Amino acid sequence: MKIIPTILCGGSGTRLWPTSRTFAPKQLQNLIGEKSLLANTVLRLQAHPNCIAPVLLCGKSYADEIEDQMTSEGAELSAIIAEPMGRDTAAAAAIASLWGQAVQADDPNEQYVVLLLPADHHIADIPGFHDALIHAGQAAVQGFISTIGITPNAPETGFGYINRAEMPIEGLKSYQVARFVEKPNQETAQQYLASGDFLWNSGMFAFTPETFLSELTTHEKEIATKARLAFSDAKKSTSSKGVTRIGLNATTFKAIPKNSIDFAVMEHTKKAAVLPANFGWNDVGSWSAAHEIAQSDDDGNVLEGDVVAVDTTNSLIRSHDKLIAVVGLSDMIVVDTADAMLICPKNMVQQVKAIHKHLSEQDHPAAHHHGPGSTAYINQKKEKVRHWLFEKALPFWIENGLDRSNGGAFEAVDFQGNPLIDMPKRLRVQARQTYVLSHAYLLGYEPAIDVLNIPLDFMLRHGRRDDGGFGHVLSPKGELIDTQADTYDHAFVLFSLAWAYKATGDKAILKVAEQVMDYLQSTLRHSGLGFKESMPTRQVYRRANPHMHLLEASMAWMKLHRHERMAELAREIVGLFKSHFCVGGLLREFFNEDLSPLPQSARDIDLAVEPGHLIEWTYLLRHYAALTGDSIEAGATMEAFADKYGINPLTGLVMDHVHPDGRLMNEPTSRLWPQTEYIRLKLQSGTSQDLDAALSMLERLEENYLFFDGQSTGYWRDQLSADGQNLLDRAPASSFYHILGCLEPLI
């Protein structure tokens, strides 16, 4: 008999706050000793001669962190199965059984048993635990679904109970289950303890794949059917560390009804068995439990870190980075972390989860992670961002987004990843992809330099007008089919050339950039203030937006090349913002020919405020202040407006437009790019609260725009309706510029 341990790594462990957080669950924390609860679980299974390498079933958010932790421990894994969302333990058991069937099929001469168990339990008697696994496995081989019941030593009201039959099953040490009982009150728990026929439900199960799937089909057919579909749709891959990864399909997995293994199967099946066991089991469900497990001193105290305890007894005190001195405490819990401290009587530790709930409702950073720069959560995010950018997005767009036949970058791909080869190529997209490849190379992605010239040469070779400026749109093969000279496009040409010159050092690029600067001043400058929209003019109104991107391009030349001419242009644009673009503390989008505000009789959409542009301008103005020391106070007002009125309360996403008084537009939409600008601005601030806001928005960006059926493809959705429906049938290449800008601070 071989055992396939399948470890459930879900749950947040809110009762163990402040060490455990929403994004740092208890199983990944070192609560007892020097290793995490998960590491201890894996290592004690690894020491069992009948156990093969375990399978870890976890939320996809933790898959990378779990893999890193396990490989650092030298633990061998069969696979990590990543759930896109939680569907409870019946679905988990079904997935474990389907994996077990595949293992059995590869080795038909061996009998395999699935062991389903939590990641966060403490076990003191390892030989006793190993012995119990053999006996539970023997019951499973005989066709039972065998749970392991813990012999109670106290009238515990925090556990479910199992009432066993009077006599063991013939030839086994397991008993058939008479009934499962929910958590009892104190009086009932006393009766259960006195009877000797009740066991604590440990949540550990042993079964053959065939037995469990048969019983699940009998009692909850929909779960069984939809679990098979989700497993068949799963994507199998191998990580860079050589670990097999199974990514479950978000759509098909979400369709599985939520239910526990107890309610779905164990309370109905006639094949339920229970093995009485006593191996020093503890579910580490509270700080009082952690105190009981740890080695205490002569006064009953568990003191960890720099702690001085005077006249103190039966207490757990954990110091993080400071001296904690206590006098006269008894039966107390004191837990210190980098950003929070818990002080609680031992008999009230069950109320700790109420603290976490309160902090979560306030969206307090201390509910979610351990503070900026000091948690696995932030390291996880950085690693996830780097992995997505360097191993998904950049390889995808280099392979599929560049036109090797005709030159240039494709405008977009469809949602199967195929380039839309017949679409015209806008000049701004060639410039933006030139920037992306240049910046990616400077961030350390070496392959980008080899293909940088594909969009750069196409832009420079085919995009020029007869008068030296750049046109607007090219055919797929490079004919200039729209010769309009657009200030917005020229801003991006300058922006891209600043980065390409930095990446290559090619003096010819500098020469072209100087020519573009000349053209901007001689041909696109407006006779009044600022710069023309285009030539010939097609816009009814003038806009702030092209000027914003001129500011961005100017600062790129200032920062990367100390370019004085562009520094002067930046000063001019900032002056226009102060004098004309910012009206009543808010950036406006459209203006009359003389840059005066539009009349109130204009259309709502023309008078609307774009929260994304408020955020983008604020970021750029603060960047300008960092470069020059010239601060602009309006940024704080615009950011506050965007925070209060610019985020859809239903989705948490930045909306495309709102009324100037903060009212929602009819049927508000949310494009991808404002989310990226929000993340970049909040990361720029660097405060704990803003960092938390940035990382929370990054989660929403991934979930809503970057993942397809639970998989990160390297391309994206571009615009969503108010209820989260996709509104565009393609992934535009132009969005990469925004995405890279927001991820760069994390890389």
What residues does 148 pair with on adjacent strands? 275
Residue type at 477?
Answer: K
**Does 5 have pLDDT greater than 90?**
yes
DSSP 16: G
What residues does 313 pair with on adjacent strands? 330
pLDDT confidence tier of residue 373, bands split at 50, 70 and 90: very low
pLDDT confidence tier of residue 371, bands split at 50, 70 and 90: low
Q: Is the separation of the CB atoms in 6 and 117 below 8 Å? A: yes
Section 288-315 average pLDDT: 94
Strands 2-8 and 112-118: parallel
Residue with tokens 């041909």: 523
Section 68-97 average pLDDT: 93
Least confidently predicted of 157-166, 450-459, 731-740: 157-166
Return the sign of the alpha-carbon dihedral for residues 14, 18, 19, 21: positive
Q: Is the separation of the CB atoms in 630 and 573 below 8 Å? A: no
| Alpha carbons 568 and 694: distance in angstroms, whole number | 32
pLDDT score recorded for residue 632:
83
| Cα separations in angstroms, 665 against 344, 488, 655, 722, 728 | 48, 26, 9, 11, 20
The model's pLDDT over 228-287, given as tens digits with 9 standing for 90+, comes to 999 999 999 998 889 999 999 989 999 999 999 999 999 999 999 999 999 999 988 899
Query: Exposed, middle or buried: residue 188 (CB in 10 Å: 0-12, 13-18, 19+)?
Result: middle
**Does 61 have pLDDT greater than 80?**
no
What residues does 96 pair with on adjacent strands? none
Residue type at 261?
Answer: I
Q: Is the separation of the CB atoms in 703 and 380 below 8 Å? A: no
pLDDT confidence tier of residue 12, bands split at 50, 70 and 90: low
| Alpha carbons 732 and 121: distance in angstroms, whole number | 47
pLDDT score recorded for residue 394:
98
158 versus 369: the higher-pLDDT residue is: 158
pLDDT score recorded for residue 588:
96
Q: Of all helices (H) and strands (E), which one includes residue 114?
A: strand 112-118
Section 332-355 average pLDDT: 93
Tell me the two tokens of residue 451: 């293909």
pLDDT score recorded for residue 504:
98
pLDDT score recorded for residue 33:
73
pLDDT score recorded for residue 369:
74
The percentage of residues in the chain with a pLDDT greater than 90, rounded to a whole number, is: 81
Least confidently predicted of 363-372, 513-522, 734-743: 363-372
Q: Which fold has domain 2-150+201-285?
A: Spore Coat Polysaccharide Biosynthesis Protein SpsA; Chain A (3.90.550)
Q: Which of 221, 336, 317, 202 is nearest to 262 (CA)?
A: 202
Q: Phi, psi (5° rounding) for residue 696?
A: -65, -40
Section 387-405 average pLDDT: 96
Residue with tokens 């164990």: 266
- Whether residue 18 is preceded by a cis peptide bond, meaning omega within 30 degrees of 0, is yes
pLDDT score recorded for residue 27:
87
**Does 374 have pLDDT greater than 50?**
no
The percentage of residues in the chain with a pLDDT greater than 70, rounded to a whole number, is: 98
pLDDT confidence tier of residue 380, bands split at 50, 70 and 90: low
| Alpha carbons 486 and 740: distance in angstroms, whole number | 24
The model's pLDDT over 109-121, given as tens digits with 9 standing for 90+, comes to 999 999 999 998 9
Section 557-576 average pLDDT: 97
CATH architecture of 376-746: Alpha/alpha barrel (1.50)
Q: What average pLDDT does the structure give for the chain? A: 93
DSSP 346: G
Least confidently predicted of 27-41, 575-589, 668-682: 27-41
pLDDT confidence tier of residue 301, bands split at 50, 70 and 90: very high
| Alpha carbons 276 and 253: distance in angstroms, whole number | 34
**Does 338 have pLDDT greater than 50?**
yes
pLDDT score recorded for residue 420:
98
DSSP 349: G
Beta-carbon contacts of 298 under 8 Å, excluding residues fewer than 6 positions away, are none
Number of residues written out for the chain: 747
The model's pLDDT over 208-217, given as tens digits with 9 standing for 90+, comes to 999 999 999 9
| CA angle centred on 483, ends 481 and 484, rounded to 5° | 130
* CATH 1.50.10.10 domain extents, the chain: 376-746
The model's pLDDT over 503-537, given as tens digits with 9 standing for 90+, comes to 999 999 999 999 999 999 999 999 999 999 998 87
- Whether residue 49 is preceded by a cis peptide bond, meaning omega within 30 degrees of 0, is no
pLDDT confidence tier of residue 62, bands split at 50, 70 and 90: confident
| Alpha carbons 709 and 84: distance in angstroms, whole number | 9
* CATH 3.90.550.10 domain extents, the chain: 2-150+201-285
